[in-house]
């Protein structure tokens, strides 16, 4: 799960990471109050959406004085912000963060992430912060410094010292940075985070080190014990169909094709997207009917996919190890009745009572094509959708 920048800053500041003072607002008129209590010459006004690249897209502005702040907030709230990470459709801005601006001497990059190889965590740091780190890694890899910590290990003072020296910091600034690094690592492990990226930590003219941007992701599996994080979820950031799928415990991700998919198992679901691509089609979604594919779940999943306006045809690929195909077929036919199915539907079922299941589908009177293999199913649906 991802959260907004301002929420991430709230969380990490509790662990001792230094962040600018600021406040989030939802309505333009609230800007007046914030601007007056902040009482700073310069403030930064920032659109809060779950995507990077906001600065260049006009989603972050430095403002002087109340009038400028109010005008900027007025412009931002409700605007559609398009960045390289939002996709062409962009995202509507509903929250704006106003915070103190600093006189910046230099910018650093600091990131903590899970290291799948070692089972521990990796810290990535660079003295070239404030820019796209992937570009830095590509063009000047010598400026990227990594520390790998074994599973369950802490970031110790000596690690923090080493990193600060590698970033070329000295004296008071180095000590301030070390304190921030250790605090951020504490936040990472205590909050079941999977990514904490501060880009940048700025070194100010007053020799402070401050986290002025923060991107945070959290382990979905641990949200049950991270209530504070779980409550920060912003439903506006998700596709409405994805939210509904989550309520039904279905793994659903909206994609940009036109063939709706319903599959049991994440791997088989990906492989089904792949085979559709292989035959020249494009999946409208990833869908793993996680857990047991009971007739009820299958029907709920089917209705959800059917509601997606981009879907021109549906492919169902169920490898039911143990469940009965006739039950699943009946669930599907009932769902087809409920929605008044009028788009092509290709079904591949594998499991016990396959023949009975196929027969139920064939005699349903709906445009359903039962096929025996996954390969044939993919070819069939791609053709049917192309014909339309």
Partner 1 sequence: MAVLITKETKIICQGFTGAQGTFHSERAIAYNTNLVGGVTPDKGGMTHLDLPVFNTIAEAKKVTNCNASGVFVPPPFAADAILEGVEAELDLIVCITDGIPTSDMQRVRREMKGSKTRLVGPNCPGVLTPGVGKIGIIPGHICKPGRIGVVSRSGTLSYESAVQTSELGQSTIIGIGGDPVNGTNFVDALELFLDDPDTDGIVLIGEIGGTAEVDGADFIKSWGKKISKPVAGFVAGAAAPKGKKLGHAGAIVSSGDETADAKKEALKSAGVIVAETITTIGDAMIKAMEKK
CB of 343 to partner 1, least distance (A): 21
Residue number with CB closer to partner 1 (22 or 295): 295
Does 185 qualify as catalytic in the annotation? Answer: no
Residues 13-72 that bind partner 1 (CB under 8 A): none
Residue number with CB closer to partner 1 (117 or 205): 117
The answer to whether residue 295 forms part of the interface with partner 1 (CB under 8 A) is: no
CA–CA separation, 53 and 216 (whole Å): 15
CB of 237 to partner 1, least distance (A): 13
Does 312 qualify as catalytic in the annotation? Answer: no
The one catalytic residue among 99, 197, 237, 312: 197
Residues 249-268 that bind partner 1 (CB under 8 A): 251, 253, 255, 263-268
The answer to whether residue 3 forms part of the interface with partner 1 (CB under 8 A) is: no
Size of the site for partner 1 (CB under 8 A): 50
CB of 221 to partner 1, least distance (A): 5
The one catalytic residue among 97, 102, 109, 252: 109
Residue 135's alpha-carbon distances to 104, 128, 132, 141, in angstroms, are 22, 10, 6, 9
Residue number with CB closer to partner 1 (30 or 308): 308
CA–CA separation, 328 and 348 (whole Å): 11
Residue 382's alpha-carbon distances to 238, 253, 301, 338, 346, in angstroms, are 28, 20, 21, 25, 10
Provide the token pair at 274: 């792949």
Interface contacts to partner 1, rule CB under 8 A = 114, 116-117, 119-121, 150-153, 189, 192, 194, 219-222, 224-225, 251, 253, 255, 263-271, 273-278, 282-283, 286, 288, 290, 319, 321-322, 350, 373-375, 378
Looking at the annotation, which residues are catalytic?
109, 197
């Amino acid at each position: 799960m991802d959260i907004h920048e301002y929420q991430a800053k709230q969380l990490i500041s509790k662990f001792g990471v230094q962040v600018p003072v600021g406040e989030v607002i939802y309505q333009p008129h609230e800007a007046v109050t914030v601007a007056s209590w902040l009482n700073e010459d310069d403030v930064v006004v920032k659109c809060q959406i779950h995507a990077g690249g906001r600065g260049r897209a006009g989603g972050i502005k430095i403002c002087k004085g109340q009038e400028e702040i109010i005008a900027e907030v007025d412009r931002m709230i409700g605007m559609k912000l398009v960045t390289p990470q939002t996709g062409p459709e962009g995202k509507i801005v509903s929250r704006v963060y106003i915070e103190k601006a600093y006189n910046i001497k230099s910018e650093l990059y600091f990131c903590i992430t899970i290291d799948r190889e070692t089972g521990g965590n990796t810290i990535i740091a660079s003295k070239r912060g404030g820019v796209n780190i992937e570009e830095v890694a590509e063009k000047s890899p010598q400026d990227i410094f990594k520390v790998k910590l074994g599973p369950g290990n802490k970031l110790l003072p000596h690690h923090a010292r080493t990193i600060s020296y590698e970033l070329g910091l000295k004296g008071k600034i180095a000590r301030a940075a070390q304190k921030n690094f250790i605090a951020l690592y504490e936040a990472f492990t205590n909050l079941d985070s999977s990514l904490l990226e501060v880009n940048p930590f700025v070194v100010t003219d007053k020799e402070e080190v401050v986290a002025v941007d923060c991107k945070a992701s959290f382990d979905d599996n641990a949200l049950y014990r991270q209530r504070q994080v779980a409550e920060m979820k912003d439903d506006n950031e998700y596709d409405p169909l994805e939210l509904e799928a989550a309520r039904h415990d279905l793994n659903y991700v909206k994609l940009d094709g036109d063939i709706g998919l319903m599959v049991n198992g994440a791997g088989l679901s990906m492989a089904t997207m792949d085979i559709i691509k292989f035959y020249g089609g494009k999946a409208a979604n990833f869908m793993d009917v996680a857990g047991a594919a009971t007739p009820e779940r299958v029907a709920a999943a089917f209705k959800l996919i059917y509601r997606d306006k981009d879907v021109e045809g549906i492919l169902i690929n169920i490898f039911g190890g143990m469940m009965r195909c006739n039950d699943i077929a009946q669930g599907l036919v009932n769902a087809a009745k409920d929605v008044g199915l009028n788009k092509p539907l290709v079904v591949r079922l594998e499991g016990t009572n396959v023949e009975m299941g196929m027969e139920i589908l064939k005699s349903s009177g709906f445009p359903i094509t039962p096929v025996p293999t996954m390969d044939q199913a993919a070819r069939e649906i791609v053709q049917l959708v192309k014909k339309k």
